[in-house]
Amino acid sequence: MINPLAPIGRGTLAALAETGRFSLFATRAAASVFSPPFFLGQFARQCLQIGYFSLPVIGLTAVFIGAALALNIYVGGARFNAEQFVPNIVVLGITRELGPVLAGLMLAGRVSAGIAAEIGTMRVTEQIDAMNTLSTDPFKFLIAPRVLAATLTLPLLVIIADIIGVMGGYLVAVNSLGFNGATYLRNTIDFLEVQDVVIGLVKAAVFGFIIASMGAYQGYNSSGGALGVGRATTNAVVGAIVLILAVNYLITAFFVE
Amino acid sequence: MTAKLQLVGIKKKLRGRQVLDGVDLDVAPGKSLVVIGGSGQGKSVTLKCALGLMKPDAGKVLVDGADVTRMPAEIRARVMKKFGMLFQGGALFDSLTVWENIAFRLIYADRVARTEAREHAIETMRKVRLAPEFADVRPIELSGGMQKRAGLARAIIAKPDILFFDEPTTGLDPITADAINDLIVEMVKELGCAAVSITHDMASARKIADEIAMLHGGKIVWRGPAANIDASGNAMVDQFIAGRAEGPIQAVV
């Protein structure tokens, strides 16, 4: 007789075990950021790779979302004669929520997948083992620079996304919804509070950490050739996205309460 | 004389299978030990346990008489400085150039200045007969034999006490394989280090070994001087060196 509850229990245990393993890995990754030796060259290269080269993706995402947001708020606001709130709600929505979350999701695709594929390939071709035999800790050489770079550059990217997102809303509002440009900007700036931006940046830093450590975790533990690396890449993206959305809710709830 | 490297009762279970079931091995300074055995008999796992890349479930790995199995990572990194390893596929870092690969330990672990490390790398390239004009290319542009030479150069650059070779001739044509074998013998002699190799290539084993040990079923089933391999008196060894499908060992197809 097969116990019908067994698969549920097995699944739950496996999920808990995986969560535990990832937590241990992420803790070790975070700790290795603060303990020498430091590889500054690797860190600089990762800042370029993760931060700078993500600018086009982030910029394009932000401008379109800002534009669409302005249109939607205009239509929604018109139902109770509140069209004038477009700039306020656009800037609030972008800085507190859409800027960090969309930047996080885009980078989960771009960066998490890239890290998982690179470290995963290094794992299956024994490059990680080779690094160990060369007295170099892969956590410090490979993982710490990526985790630190993602944690520091994602907030910078989000500041840029915020500005470009607001600009997207501004362009649509001024060019097709009949807003006055100066008034739109004045309303945006007057309405925005420091806290709105700070919340967004805190989220961005946490998402950056999640993105890099999830990619590294999946890559580091991959096995079984091309198939294994493919699986690691998929798991990294899915894992990072789910975790970003869950943590986003927790951070939002924490700041709202 | 204490052994340079000693494995005592190493046991390791992987995915529910007892891969190593009490492996005892030792190698004296300046000697070359070759472990032979069929695929899936735990040769690679033995090597990984010896190198500290895998933790054995039971047993000890002694380097110069000191147990390294349960050392903290920082101290093990220091022991690693005595080791050099040539990986089966080369395991060169494909994001770095050939010379940076060879000098990796010097640049990143010993923090030697890059210009000095480069000179050292090129000197080592000459030793393994890899032309210095390949210093600035990526490993992917090298042929299989050249990748092995680069891997060997990376393993010997810091003058290790123990060299490990994982299937050094696999994937090479017979002539290149023989050249690599000659190079291994030459380097081991020059460095005066102990060498541990795993292979299933008998031509390679005969050439580079002082002693041969055969691993089967997770245990060492025979061990003796390389010269005695043809008169081992062990049916499994005889079957292996003759390459017969019939005998005490069942072929895994």
Q: Report d(CA A227, CA B103) in Å as an integer.
A: 32
Residues of chain A with pLDDT > 70: what percent? 100
Residue-wise pLDDT for A22-53, tens only, equals 999 999 999 999 988 999 999 999 999 999 99
Domain boundary among B122, B155, B188: B155
Question: Rg of chain B over CA atoms, in angstroms?
Answer: 18
Best B55, B96, B108 member to test A by mutation, with max A CBs in 10 Å, is B108
Angle at B207 between CA B91 and CA B26, to 5 degrees: 75
The reply to whether B14 and B69 lie within a common domain is yes
Answer whether A37's CB lies under 8 Å from A140's CB.
Answer: yes
The reply to whether B60 and B7 lie within a common domain is yes
Q: Report d(CA A143, CA A141) in Å as an integer.
A: 6
Helix axes A99-107, A55-78, angle to 10 degrees: 140
Band of pLDDT at residue B106, cut at 50, 70 and 90: very high
Q: Report chain B's terminal Cα–Cα distance, integer Å.
A: 43
Domain boundary among B134, B155, B176: B155
Q: Which domain holds residue B107?
A: 88-155
Helix axes A86-93, A181-191, angle to 10 degrees: 50
Looking at the structure of chain B, the number of domains it has is 2
Best B93, B124, B138 member to test A by mutation, with max A CBs in 10 Å, is B93
The reply to whether B194 and B229 lie within a common domain is yes
The reply to whether B20 and B132 lie within a common domain is no
The reply to whether B147 and B93 lie within a common domain is yes
The reply to whether B99 and B15 lie within a common domain is no
Lowest mean pLDDT among A122-126, B68-72, B207-211: B68-72
Residue-wise pLDDT for B108-127, tens only, equals 999 999 999 999 999 999 98
A141 and B108 within 8 Å at the Cβ level: the answer is yes
The DSSP code sequence of A130-189 is HHHHTT--HIIIIIHHHHHHHHHHHHHHHHHHHHHHHHHHHHHHHHHS---HHHHHHHHH
Nearest-CA distance B60 → chain A (Å): 19
Mean pLDDT value across residues A94-103: 95
Answer whether B13's CB lies under 8 Å from B55's CB.
Answer: no
The reply to whether B94 and B47 lie within a common domain is no
The reply to whether B207 and B170 lie within a common domain is yes
Residues of chain B with pLDDT > 70: what percent? 98
Strand B32-36, strand B58-63: pairing:
unpaired
Which amino acid makes up residue A153?
T
The interface predicted TM-score of the complex, written ipTM, equals 0.90
| pLDDT recorded at residue A122 | 96
B91 and A136 within 8 Å at the Cβ level: the answer is no
| Cα→Cα distances B238→B28, B229, B231, B247, Å | 26, 8, 8, 9
Cβ-based contacts of B108 with chain A (< 8 Å):
37, 39, 134, 136, 141
Band of pLDDT at residue B252, cut at 50, 70 and 90: low
Domain boundary among B155, B190, B210: B155
B20 SS3 class: strand
Q: What is the CATH number of the domain that holds B171?
A: 3.40.50.300
The reply to whether B78 and B189 lie within a common domain is yes
Residue-wise pLDDT for A160-198, tens only, equals 999 999 999 999 999 999 999 999 999 999 999 999 999
Residue-wise pLDDT for B154-201, tens only, equals 999 999 999 999 999 988 888 889 989 999 999 889 999 999 999 988
Which amino acid makes up residue B191?
L
pTM of the model: 0.90
